Amino acid sequence: MIISKGSEDVFLCTNCRACNILCPLRLLPSDAILSTRHRLIKENRLSENIKDSVKSANAFARKGHRFPFSYYERAEIIFWPGCALSGTEPDIIKKTIRLLNKHLNCKVGIVLDCCFDSSFQIGDIDEVQKAAERIRERLRKHGIRRVITGCVNCKKIFSLYLPEISAEHIMEVLSDTHSHIYRFTHSQVYLHHPCPSYMFEGIQEKARNILKKNASDIIEPPYPSCCGLGGGLHDTSKELSDTFAGAVITDAGNRDIITYCMGCKNKFLKNGKRTSHILEFMNGIKPIEEAIPSQRKWLNRFLLAMHFRLKGKSFISGLILIILILATTFLRKTGHISLESIIEFIEGHSVTAPLLFILIYAIGPSLFISSLALTLGAGFIWGPFMGVVFSITGATIGASVSFLLARYIIGNAIKERFTYTVRKRLGDQVAKHGWKAVAFARLIPIFPFPVLNYLFGVTPIPFIHYLWSTFVFMLPACIAYVAFGSSMGELIISGNIKGIIIGIVIASAAMLLPLALKPKFKEIFQKNNGR
């Protein structure tokens, strides 16, 4: 009757799906209720109270979906903790990342974003679908193929709207087989299953098995028992929401509640019931004993996102660059450094200056410092011939240092930093084509040179083949940049227009050489692949 009349009473449903389980005709009443909500929202046939609830649910999701709360790390496998876990227990997330890195033996990244479950709960399916498209593109852009969620609601959204993405709940990965990471202090507990877990019976079983390793007496409800947050009920009817929470608390009796949803835990704590999240029993985690207010949750999410941003290499590189610019500006203003003093040093130290330049050039690639400025500077200072000699020497040494570091010292770290797909593709090319793969990558770079140097170190190519092919096939680009830098020097110092024209011609010829050789290399690769 409620559904057929399109009554707003459908917004009093918690989406717990218990009706699906109890329906004697095996119908799906919860899906019909959700569809009715969606229709009422699209037709805008809502009271002001429900309109406000829809706006609130969407505003919450959009806020967590944008900067500064949204953060994506480039990795093939990522941990997606969800809004509630990020806002309540940031330490659990950091701990979980370390455990996943160890147990999966690879780099596991972090993604902080909102899956728009709040919009789903209230029934605004169009909003969820649009958000899912944006999330799909973000995942694709960052090379993410596998998602491990810290929230059952997030897994539900992935299964419904991003089914092509492999999504697992954290307890399916760090499950009962890893029970040594959990340390329970309870012997008698009430196991509360979050509503979405009834879509994934395997997750319920994992939770039981984790508890059975420690707790001797476990009771749980026979069907979904909502905490009162489902379906956005806490916005549409706080009184009814508290009634649902009270029913679970009454059912638990004197036992502490154990759940695996931070939203549920927070709701029970607000209603005065001692409750713990399963992940809070990991070693080194201090359980939260009081409900976290909304403002504190947003602050936690902001600080967590900034924590991972500050750890990023791009931020560190940018900070170093800013410091160098400020230091250089200060030294120039105070007279400690000037163009004249640099030229005077170079002219007065004909051996030391080139050696110092080569040393800087050799170290630069290992620190992911761009060598373009150094190559242009070499042409500017030493001219087209010696500039090439010094630049190609420094570039070859630098490429070799990174290669040897990756092969003999930091190989595992390099493998963790780059996805398996990238490493396999380059490794396969090296296995098939040997030095020709290096030649092609140097002439037509698919990655920046510093990245290629490290990646080749974890491939099977012999060092001597890598060394000579790197030297030979970096030479065209080196000649081009040095020639351009030299011509700029001619123009700035002596006003020689003819010199810059000659430099541009030489640079253009050197840059066109890779394009001319590209079809030949493709022909060789295709021929070898066809064997």
Task: Give domain status of residue 323, yes or no.
Answer: no
Alpha-helix runs per DSSP H in 213-237: 233-236
What would the pLDDT profile of 132-163 be if each residue is shown by its tens digit?
A: 999 999 999 888 999 999 999 999 999 999 99
Task: Give domain status of residue 3, yes or no.
Answer: no
Rg (C-alpha) for the chain, rounded Å, is: 30
**Domain identity same for 51 and 82:** yes
**Domain identity same for 141 and 265:** yes
Task: Give domain status of residue 86, yes or no.
Answer: yes
- The domain total for the chain is 2
Contacts of 224 (CB under 8 A, 6+ apart): 16, 17, 18, 21, 193, 195, 198
Average pLDDT over residues 502-509: 55
Task: Give domain status of residue 259, yes or no.
Answer: yes
Cis geometry, peptide bond prior to residue 68 (ω within 30 degrees of 0): yes
Can you give the pLDDT at residue 155? 95
What would the pLDDT profile of 268-322 be if each residue is shown by its tens digit?
A: 999 999 999 998 888 778 888 899 999 999 999 999 998 888 776 556 655 665 6
**Cα–Cα distances in angstroms (integers) from residue 138 to residues 203, 240, 479, 487, 497, in the given order:** 27, 38, 39, 43, 48
**Cα–Cα distances in angstroms (integers) from residue 163 to residues 153, 177, 461, in the given order:** 14, 26, 39
**Domain identity same for 360 and 507:** yes
Task: Give domain status of residue 136, yes or no.
Answer: yes
Question: Where among 256, 278, 307 does a domain terminate?
Answer: 307
Can you give the pLDDT at residue 495? 46
Q: Which pairs from 353-358 meet CB under 8 Å and 24+ separation?
A: 354/382, 354/386, 354/390, 357/390, 357/394, 358/390, 358/393, 358/394, 358/397
H or E segment to which residue 205 belongs: helix 201-212
Can you give the pLDDT at residue 92? 92
Task: Give domain status of residue 321, yes or no.
Answer: no
Contacts of 469 (CB under 8 A, 6+ apart): 435, 438, 439, 442
pLDDT band at 339 (very low <50, low <70, confident <90, very high): low
**Domain identity same for 290 and 337:** no
Is residue 509 over pLDDT 90? no
CA–CA separation, 177 and 186 (whole Å):
20
- The strand order across the sheet containing 217-219 reads 217-219, 188-191, 256-259, 275-277
**Domain identity same for 245 and 389:** no
Task: Give domain status of residue 316, yes or no.
Answer: no
Can you give the pLDDT at residue 273? 93
Please check whether residue 295 is in contact with residue 63, taking contact to mean a CB–CB distance below 8 angstroms.
no
Cβ atoms within 10 Å, residue 466: 24
Q: Mean of the per-residue pLDDT values for the chain?
A: 81
Can you give the pLDDT at residue 191? 93
Can you give the pLDDT at residue 26? 77
Contacts of 292 (CB under 8 A, 6+ apart): 87, 88, 266, 300
**Domain identity same for 380 and 492:** yes
Please check whether residue 222 is in contact with residue 191, taking contact to mean a CB–CB distance below 8 angstroms.
no
What would the pLDDT profile of 50-84 be if each residue is shown by its tens digit?
A: 999 999 999 999 999 988 899 999 889 999 999 99
Can you give the pLDDT at residue 360? 84
Can you give the pLDDT at residue 117? 95
**Domain identity same for 279 and 346:** no
> Among residues 209, 177, 279, 230, which one has the least CA distance to residue 16?
230
The domain in which residue 494 lies consists of 328-529
What DSSP state is assigned to residue 148?
E
pTM (two decimals):
0.63
What would the pLDDT profile of 154-192 be if each residue is shown by its tens digit?
A: 999 999 999 999 999 999 998 655 556 667 667 788 999
**Domain identity same for 25 and 159:** yes
Question: Where among 250, 272, 307 does a domain terminate?
Answer: 307
CA–CA separation, 275 and 121 (whole Å):
23
**Domain identity same for 301 and 410:** no
Please check whether residue 128 is in contact with residue 60, taking contact to mean a CB–CB distance below 8 angstroms.
no
Is residue 525 over pLDDT 50? no
Q: Which pairs from 500-509 meet CB under 8 Å and 24+ separation?
A: 503/379, 503/384, 506/384, 506/479, 506/480, 507/479, 507/480, 507/481, 507/483, 508/480, 509/480
Q: Which two tokens stand for residue 206?
A: 């994992």
**Domain identity same for 299 and 350:** no
Contacts of 101 (CB under 8 A, 6+ apart): 107, 108, 416
Average pLDDT over residues 193-199: 88
More confident residue, 248 or 448: 248
Report phi then psi at 79, rounded to 5. -100, 125
Task: Give domain status of residue 2, yes or no.
Answer: no
**Domain identity same for 146 and 286:** yes
**Domain identity same for 300 and 335:** no
Q: Which residues pair with 71 in a beta bridge?
A: 112
Question: Where among 273, 307, 341 does a domain terminate?
Answer: 307
Is residue 530 over pLDDT 50? no
DSSP labels, 320-371? HHHHHHHHHHHHHHTTS--HHHHHHHHHH-TTHHHHHHHHHHHHGGGGT--S
What DSSP state is assigned to residue 292?
P
